[in-house]
Amino acid sequence: MTQQAAVQQPNLLNGLDVQAAVETIGAIQEDESLARFQFRARNTWITGGVNLSSIKDFYGAGREDDSRSESFEFTNGEPPVLLGDNEGANPVEFLLHALAGCVTTTLVLHATARGITIEELSTELEGDLDVRGLLALDDGVSPGYERIRIGMKVKADCSDEQLADLIAFTQAHSPVCNTVCRPVPVEIVRMAN
Amino acid sequence: MTQQAAVQQPNLLNGLDVQAAVETIGAIQEDESLARFQFRARNTWITGGVNLSSIKDFYGAGREDDSRSESFEFTNGEPPVLLGDNEGANPVEFLLHALAGCVTTTLVLHATARGITIEELSTELEGDLDVRGLLALDDGVSPGYERIRIGMKVKADCSDEQLADLIAFTQAHSPVCNTVCRPVPVEIVRMAN
């Protein structure tokens, strides 16, 4: 391989471009404002428990992102027992998908930073919820999840102790996990039609 | 219309079957155990920031649900600025989709309970996040959302005061909103491969 080819070939670990990651972290350390992101979603109600989200633009790394030519579109629905017709997964299920993805990506990112190769990684999530909260049948019952359990299977080229440390670090640094574990303020403002 | 036809025709308000809703609430008031739900997701890492969730089964209303013949499948990805190739929306964006859907469905449900007709309903969400938390560059920065704003447009056959009350009630009773606003315990347990 010529030296030029070697320069052009990204140094991938766990599918991540290590050099790009190092450069991103270096740029943020030089200019903290590059770390500020704003993510967005637009949602339209259709009928009953059916509504559609469109996700495309966001702000990050100092500018409006323009990398997406099309929006991602997702449908929330409800199963028959919750008065729907399975038009889509329901919102509390999408929350589990978000959480699963976030702990996975966070673990892979920090494994890469530590030089650990991940061979396999999968999760199974269970969230317990009492719908008396949603239905306002009992003020003592929280409407949200009572607790969420993540069962994680990982194969990696490190010791069990290193893996346990990586999992604990992941739990502490995953944005969605942190958003769920920590009280995050949500403000609803009515806009003019 | 004959009386038999009237019985067979569901009484829909905002696309929800009012009689079914009343029966569901009545059944839960008779037997609180019917209110207990467990939602689930299974996720498999592919490479880098790409992973896939499968969502199908759940427990609720006293039994394992069997209404879905196929799984819902969702892909998490990342944009180039976060080392991906826009393989899917990213996990913190899916969280906004879940939140948008949940406040929407919760509002429609409680509007229906109050006899309010919703004519139009849409939301725009913005969530602020500093990636120094995720990257472990500053222990003083939370990895999750700092705050989330929901701009809501609603047209309904009620007064502005009734609508403001409905929105406040929605915020207090939406399961995803409550999961975000309240500290919810998340446990990660390593499973045998």
Say if the Cβ atoms of B122 and A181 lie within 8 Å: no
**What sign for the dihedral angle of Cα A167, B186, B100, B138?**
negative
What domains are defined for chain A? 1-35 (no CATH), 39-89 (no CATH), 90-184 (3.30.300.20)
- Going by C-alpha positions, the residue among A106, A143, A139, A103 that lies closest to residue A123 is A103
| Six token digits for residue A33 | 């404002």
**What sign for the dihedral angle of Cα B109, B115, B120, B126?**
negative
Helix/strand/coil for B58: strand
Interface check for A104 against chain B (CB to CB < 8 A): the answer is yes
| Six token digits for residue A184 | 């995050």
Query: Could you tell me if the ipTM is greater than 0.90?
Result: yes
To the nearest whole Å, the CA of B30 is away from the closest chain A CA by 12
Tell me the chain B residues in contact with residue A43 when contact means C-beta distances shorter than 8 Å: 97, 100-101, 104, 122-125
Interface check for A167 against chain B (CB to CB < 8 A): the answer is yes
- pTM value is 0.96
| Six token digits for residue A181 | 């574990």
Note down pLDDT in tens along chain A; length 193 residues: 445 545 567 899 999 999 999 999 999 999 999 999 999 999 999 999 999 999 999 999 999 999 999 999 999 999 999 999 999 999 999 999 999 999 999 999 999 999 999 999 999 999 999 999 999 999 999 999 999 999 999 999 999 999 999 999 999 999 999 999 999 999 999 998 8
DSSP A139: T
Top residue of A11, A51, A163, A171 to mutate, by most chain B CBs within 10 Å, is A51
